[in-house]
Amino acid sequence: MKTVYGSHNKSMHRILGSILLLLTVVSVMTPPVMAEVSQIGTDLTGVSVAIYGGGSSEGHNESKKALVELFEWMNASSVEIVVGEDIRNGALDGVDIFAMPGTSPYTLFPDLQTEGVQIFEDFIRNGGSFFGIVSGDYFEWDAYFHFNDFFLYSGEMECTEFGYGQMIVNITVNTDSEGPDLSSQPASLNTSYWDSGHFSDYEEEVIVIANYTGTNMPAMIAYEKWNGTVFLSTLHPEFEENDNRDNSTFFDARDDPDSEWNLLLSVSKWLIEESIIPTETTGTTSTTTTQTEGFSLGIESTTVIMIAIAVVIVAIVIGRIRHR
């Protein structure tokens, strides 16, 4: 009997050893990924955000502060401020959303430099998401953005929809959007305008997030670009004019009880959900994975196969033990 028990123990050791070996192989074969939809839920848990902070104007600094508060309110796992030098040193590695507040193109491009713009392009090509407030729109102007032959947006942005200056304007939300789920959003919202314009003549399959109520022209848009996703706004929905939670007094002199933050959360979730992360390349054949629940299909298939092999091994060993 002792010999049999010893045999049983050895067999069980073999089973445990096989299972541990297979689990180790599976864990090694499973690469780190950017935020998964299953992690996001109703907020941005698991999402890493970098906010550009290389501008010097008051408007840039206040917009930057508001964006920090916005993404922290969305419960993003990390929110970091980065400048051109940081970007050139790899600050966008592992970042899910790169947000850009209002700033001047005359400081933006000298700070990013050619290398930084190339990194920005690669970030979107590799599945990153861009969240652009006003200054992000400079990346579509021929006058500013024909830089490294990189065009984030192929259309036009017409300036000064209602003239120059700051004011509160009304926008009509696209609650029937085929992109971000905006069905629970208000039909219209008031938001901050500062020399803002509208988008037109775009070649991308653009999803209009909101139009100006007065002119019915697009003020906020979103679309897929390469493997990544893009949101652009000519307005300033990051500011909370009647609330201090944006950590800014900008626009507070104007009365606007509406908040656009829930709208921006829906858009931000869509940006993550629709981006595609390249997973592996073999020769001339490459595979990609959409950021959906779990890992890529390739990794899921490998995991299932490994588990199946482990089950078979366990069944065989137990069967041999029972026949002894």
| String of DSSP letters for 127-172 | T-EEEEESGGGGGG-HHHH-BTTB-S--SEEE--BTBSSEEEEEEE
Q: Where are the domains of the chain?
A: 2-30+295-322, 40-277
* Mean pLDDT calculated for residue range 275-288: 55
Estimate to the nearest angstrom the gap between the alpha carbon of 122 and the chain centroid: 14
* Mean pLDDT calculated for residue range 161-172: 91
Q: Which stretch of 142-151, 197-206, 254-263, 309-318 has the lowest confidence by average pLDDT?
A: 142-151
pLDDT at 269 over 50: yes
Other CB atoms closer than 10 Å to residue 253's CB: what's the count? 8
Q: Say which residue the tokens 């493997």 belong to.
A: 227
pLDDT at 71 over 80: yes
What pLDDT, on the 0 to 100 scale, is given for residue 323? 55
Quick one: CA dihedral 118, 219, 81, 37, positive or negative? negative
Structure tokens at 241: 């004019």
Using CA atoms, how far apart are residues 305 and 187, in angstroms rounded to an integer? Answer: 49
Structure tokens at 110: 């000298």
pLDDT at 189 over 80: yes
What confidence category does residue 187 fall into, taking pLDDT thresholds of 50, 70 and 90? very high
pLDDT at 299 over 80: no
Structure tokens at 283: 């020769």
Quick one: CA dihedral 22, 28, 29, 35, positive or negative? positive
Domain 40-277 in CATH 3.40.640.10: no
Task: Give the up-direction half-sphere exposure of residue 95: CA atoms within 13 A in the CB hemisphere.
Answer: 25
What pLDDT, on the 0 to 100 scale, is given for residue 2? 42
148 within 8 A of 122, measured Cβ to Cβ: no
- The rounded percent of the chain whose pLDDT value lies above 90 is 46
pLDDT at 17 over 70: no
* Mean pLDDT calculated for residue range 51-64: 91
pLDDT at 29 over 50: no
Q: Which stretch of 46-60, 81-95, 191-205 has the lowest confidence by average pLDDT?
A: 191-205
What pLDDT, on the 0 to 100 scale, is given for residue 197? 87
Q: 137 vs 166, which has greater pLDDT? A: 166
116 within 8 A of 165, measured Cβ to Cβ: no
Q: 93 vs 55, which has greater pLDDT? A: 93
What pLDDT, on the 0 to 100 scale, is given for residue 108? 81
**Mean pLDDT of the residues in the chain:** 78
Using CA atoms, how far apart are residues 161 and 216, in angstroms rounded to an integer? Answer: 11
